[in-house]
Amino acid sequence: MERLVYIKTFGCQMNEHDSERMLALLKGCGYRETQRYEEAHLILVNTCSVRAKPEQKAYSILGRFQRFKMERPNVILGVAGCVAQQEGERMLAKFPSLDFVFGPGKIHHLPEILREVERGQKGLCEVGLEDRPSTDVPLPRTRQLRAYVTIMEGCDNFCSYCIIPYVRGRERSCPSSEILAEIEALVERGTKEVILLGQNVNSYAEGDSDELTFPRLLAKINEIQGLERIRFTTSHPKDLTEELIGAFGRLNRLCEHIHLPFQAGSNVVLEKMGRGYTREEYLAEVRRLREVVPCISITADVMVGFPGEGGEDFAQTMGLLREVEFDGLFSFKYSARKGTKAARWKDDVPPEVKQRRLELLQELQRAITIKKNRELEGEVLEVLTEGSSRNSSQEMMGRARCNRIVNFPGGSKLAGELVRVKIEEGLPNSLRGELF
């Protein structure tokens, strides 16, 4: 009998990729994905602990699934991801009906864990980072037009607010030979775009003089026949080299988009965050990127309400937004994460001030995004068609090289194709156009 799995994912692209890997493994065990947890035999929650909000959401959904399991005791319930990694056994104590808890380093154990659960084992806990699979533990992959490829994991930066280094461990890079082999295999199975993943891809293989640097790795990937597009995320401004900036000008497959989180516009706050760059240095990098590729799309992450952030600091963040005019922005309210350096400081910006600042920031960014999207009206963009648009079956949806979503009238035979689309309308979250 076919079994169904429902998986809820919180957090970053790394986590989305982990969920994909779990699904691929589960397929091998006879599972098929469902979007309705009510019909699932297995429910997985892939959690994120980077901020309080996604963590709380994961806890609340787990509460709901725990109640659901009271009515259907045969449903298997498991927790994965960074909260699982951090909490381990404590998670089992909090949610006694959980069947298993496993960390990001144990994904390849999932079939084994399930076998044990099916044999009647309760409350399994597998956390730990030491044997996290990189590309050396090949996991089954289904055909993917756009595929994530992990090139490094962990983080050594220890920004004062950030839990990631504690949860995902120290930086570890995958050997370039294996990354290249994985991408070649993906391309053979139909992949046209790869998204290289790492918490800080700019420091790929740092300190390993026998390994390729990140820009050299990009150059090698750029040579793979049949691959159309390369993207990467996330970059740290302190490690953005001239060589990497130059790669955007040199490599035809590297998409003109960089996600370059700045976090705060005030030097005082940046210093307390331990980011390792100043506002002026960040702005200089933006200028250099635009010198090399004038149309480059720049997106970023920013936080409001960091301990000690005053009105003047926040004004500097708003000013930076106006000056750079980001193509897109992810903005968050600071939340203390236990175990980090900043958690020892007083979380002294009142919640209503954080909320107000976030709203001001988002209002400003909304106007900038619309303005930038409208500036694209009349331009012809290369679009990789992914499938039918969300709103209409007569329309197709794809992504431009700048990472914007583009909708356009067209048939489903265009799925997977690179097409040229003339942009007719710039909307708040997407573009609309016609085939050119």
Which residues contribute to the site for ligand SF4 (CB under 6 A)? 11-12, 14-15, 48-50, 81-82, 164, 167-168
Residue 262 binding ligand 5AD, by CB under 6 A: no
Whose Cβ is closer to ligand SF4: residue 53's or residue 115's? 53
385 touches, from ligand SF4, ligand 5AD, none (C-beta below 5 to 8 Å by class): none
Nearest distance from C-beta of residue 189 to ligand 5AD, angstroms: 30
48 touches, from ligand SF4, ligand 5AD, none (C-beta below 5 to 8 Å by class): ligand SF4
373 touches, from ligand 5AD, ligand SF4, none (C-beta below 5 to 8 Å by class): none
82 touches, from ligand 5AD, ligand SF4, none (C-beta below 5 to 8 Å by class): ligand SF4
Task: Give the Cα separation of 228 and 27 in Å (integer).
Answer: 28
Residue 233 binding ligand 5AD, by CB under 6 A: no
Residue 6 binding ligand 5AD, by CB under 6 A: no
* Of positions 232, 314, 332, 408, contacts ligand 5AD by CB under 6 A: 332
Task: Give the Cα separation of 199 and 164 in Å (integer).
Answer: 9
Q: Helix axis angle, 279-292 relative to 242-250, nearest 10°?
A: 20
Residue 335 binding ligand 5AD, by CB under 6 A: yes
Residue 51 binding ligand 5AD, by CB under 6 A: yes
**Near ligand 5AD by CB under 6 A, which window of 219-227, 330-338, 371-379, 404-412?**
330-338
Give bridge partners of residue 45 from the DSSP assignment. 8, 79
148 touches, from ligand 5AD, ligand SF4, none (C-beta below 5 to 8 Å by class): none
Q: Which two tokens stand for residue 322?
A: 């106006």
Nearest distance from C-beta of residue 421 to ligand SF4, angstroms: 32
Residue 277 binding ligand 5AD, by CB under 6 A: no
- Tell me the residue number closest to ligand 5AD, measured at CB: 301
Nearest distance from C-beta of residue 260 to ligand SF4, angstroms: 16
Nearest distance from C-beta of residue 86 to ligand 5AD, angstroms: 13
Q: 74 burial class (0-12, 13-18, 19+ CB within 10 angstroms)? A: exposed
**Near ligand 5AD by CB under 6 A, which window of 119-127, 142-150, 328-336, 366-374?**
328-336
Residue 50 binding ligand 5AD, by CB under 6 A: yes
Q: 287 burial class (0-12, 13-18, 19+ CB within 10 angstroms)? A: exposed
Residue 197 binding ligand 5AD, by CB under 6 A: no
Residue 334 binding ligand 5AD, by CB under 6 A: yes
Q: Which two tokens stand for residue 397?
A: 């949806």
Residue 37 binding ligand 5AD, by CB under 6 A: no
Nearest distance from C-beta of residue 11 to ligand SF4, angstroms: 3
Nearest distance from C-beta of residue 271 to ligand 5AD, angstroms: 17
Place of tokens 């779990």: 22
Whose Cβ is closer to ligand SF4: residue 163's or residue 376's? 163
* Of positions 180, 217, 221, 303, contacts ligand 5AD by CB under 6 A: 303
Task: Give the Cα separation of 84 and 126 in Å (integer).
Answer: 9
* Of positions 106, 272, 337, 357, contacts ligand 5AD by CB under 6 A: 337
Nearest distance from C-beta of residue 167 to ligand SF4, angstroms: 6
* Of positions 105, 237, 261, 410, contacts ligand 5AD by CB under 6 A: 261
51 touches, from ligand 5AD, ligand SF4, none (C-beta below 5 to 8 Å by class): ligand 5AD
Contact status, residue 117 vs residue 99, Cβ threshold 8 Å = yes
Give bridge partners of residue 47 from the DSSP assignment. 81
Nearest distance from C-beta of residue 334 to ligand 5AD, angstroms: 4
Binding site for ligand 5AD (CB under 6 A): 50-51, 161-162, 261, 263, 301, 303, 332, 334-335, 337
